[in-house]
Structure 1
Amino acid sequence: MKKLLLLLSFLTMSFVVNAQTEPKVGDVLIVKQPSNQYYNHVDFPKLNILVKRGKIASYKSEFESEVVIQDVKTKSNGDTYVVLSKKDGSKFFGLKTKVKANYNKAIEAGELKIK
């Protein structure tokens, strides 16, 4: 009986987690460190652009930043893109107020995390 109850609770929790994969305007995400040197699915400026603008060539200032989804767009090929802005209202790297990201691929790659 305990095993059945444990199994049912596990299945319920996994269903709830999978149900939260659809982004909505106002959801809060956390920017995580990319698996390699660059962000592939979040449209941050390239490092050479940051240097040209007088900034430090590093993405470290954005690690663990909380961002809010401002807009959600689904393309005809099924990709879901979101427009992100910082929760505190500041700019990304002191340059951009909003950035675009491929939601599903960024979550899978670990570049963004659902809070």
Structure 2
Amino acid sequence: MKKICYCLFLLASITLANNNIDLSNSDPQVGDVLIINKTNANGYKHIFFPNLNIISKRGGLANYNIVEGNHAIIKKVETNKIGDVYVHLVRKNGKKFFGCIKKVRANYTKSLESGELSILKT
């Protein structure tokens, strides 16, 4: 009876461990395509766009709705001492964000968790 209980416990723990693996936060690679999603709050928290007044001073269109749904390619991947993964993004079509910013930096793991970025499924 003890052997059956141990086997069931082992089988259940292996099954639960396999279900908890999250493949969406796998390591980013240069060339991966991400989608910039719509946010509920004012602005983006983990994608480091400049403030709207800075964008308007540079001659760009100061509205976060412009970047929603854009496809961005990872050009560079960095890891800091704490272990956070940062990526440098450029638009897939070669245009600039807001009409004035060529590349932006984002915290990869936190932006995926918050829903600001999502991985393009191909």
- TM-score between both structures, scaled by the size of structure 1: 0.81
* Contact 2:91–2:97 (CA under 8 A) maintained in structure 1: yes
Q: Give the Å deviation of 1:51.
A: 2.6
Q: Structure 1 residues 109 and 89, CA, compared in 2 at 3 Å: closer, same or farther?
A: same
Matches within 5 A, 1:1-115: 11=18, 15=21, 18=23, 21-115=26-120
Flag structure 2 segments of 5+ consecutive residues without an equivalent. Answer: 1-14
* 1:81, distance to aligned residue in structure 2 (A): 0.2
Question: In structure 1, what residue type is equivalent to 2:33?
Answer: V
Task: Give the whole-Å Cα distance in 1 for the aligned partners of 2:33 and 2:24.
Answer: 16
Give the partner amino acid of 1:43: F
Q: Max radius of gyration: which structure?
A: 2
Offset, 1:20:
5.8
How far does the alpha carbon of each residue in 1:31-55 deviate from its partner, in whole angstroms, 9 at most, with x for none? 0012301111101111111232343
Secondary structure of 1:51's aligned partner:
helix
- Structure 1 vs Structure 2: percent identity of aligned residues? 42
TM-score by length of 2: 0.76
CA distance in 2, matches of 1:49, 1:65: 21
Structure 1 gap ranges (5+) = 1-7
CA RMSD after TM alignment = 1.8
When residues 20 and 42 of structure 1 are mapped into structure 2, their CA distance, relative to the original with a 3 A threshold, is closer
Q: CA deviation at 1:19?
A: 6.8
Structure 2 residue matching 1:92: 3-state secondary structure: coil
Aligned residues: 104
